[in-house]
């Protein structure tokens, strides 16, 4: 499956409190569950989807928002370095839209992310 090019790639850092302004993106009945720091912004797991915010430009005022409904994920894999400190962890998602790679920086818990994806996809997203 490595022959499938990633349509996008994100790097998640440590888990952070859920940003207050994410609530304006949620639909009725949707709740934010967990958030992670990205290079310039955040990735938020909700009860229905993964929302990745990407601040752009020098000031960061321009924001691109990616929304991945869990129902579009058909398969995923997680990989870690196998040691106490996972430096090279990676989560891959195969979706109806294509292949997405999520790199995990030191401080991000691959098993926490793996369980969030499993919970989201298997509970019917």
- pLDDT at residue 31, as a whole number: 93
Q: Cα–Cα distance between 34 and 72 in angstroms, integer?
A: 19
Tell me which residue range forms the domain holding 58.
6-122
Q: Is residue 35 part of a domain?
A: yes
Q: Is residue 1 part of a domain?
A: no
Instruction: Give the domain CATH number at 34.
Output: 2.30.29
Total structural domains in the chain? 1
Q: Is residue 21 part of a domain?
A: yes
Q: Is residue 14 part of a domain?
A: yes
Residue 23 backbone phi and psi in degrees, to 5: -60, -30
Q: Is residue 68 part of a domain?
A: yes
Q: Cα–Cα distance between 11 and 101 in angstroms, integer?
A: 8
pLDDT tens for 58-85 read 666 788 888 999 999 999 998 876 655 5
Task: Decide if 21 contacts 35 (C-beta within 8 A).
Answer: no
pLDDT tens for 18-72 read 988 888 999 999 999 999 998 878 999 999 999 998 877 666 678 888 899 999 9
Task: Decide if 49 contacts 124 (C-beta within 8 A).
Answer: no
In the chain, the largest separation of any two C-alpha atoms, in whole Å, equals 41
Q: Is residue 36 part of a domain?
A: yes
Q: Cα–Cα distance between 81 and 31 in angstroms, integer?
A: 32
Q: Is residue 107 part of a domain?
A: yes
Q: Is residue 105 part of a domain?
A: yes
Place of tokens 């691109």: 64
């Amino acid at each position: 499956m490595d022959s499938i090019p990633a349509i996008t790639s994100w790097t998640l850092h440590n888990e952070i409190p859920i940003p207050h302004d994410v609530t304006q993106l949620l639909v009725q009945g949707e709740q934010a569950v967990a958030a992670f720091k990205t290079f310039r912004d955040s990735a938020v797991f909700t009860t229905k989807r993964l929302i990745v915010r990407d601040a752009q430009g020098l000031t960061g005022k321009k924001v691109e928002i990616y929304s991945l409904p869990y129902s579009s994920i058909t398969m995923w894999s997680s990989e870690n370095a196998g040691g106490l400190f996972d430096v090279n962890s990676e989560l891959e998602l195969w979706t109806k839209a294509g292949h997405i790679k999520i790199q995990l920086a030191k401080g991000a818990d691959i098993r926490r992310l793996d369980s969030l994806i499993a919970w989201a996809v298997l509970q019917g997203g």
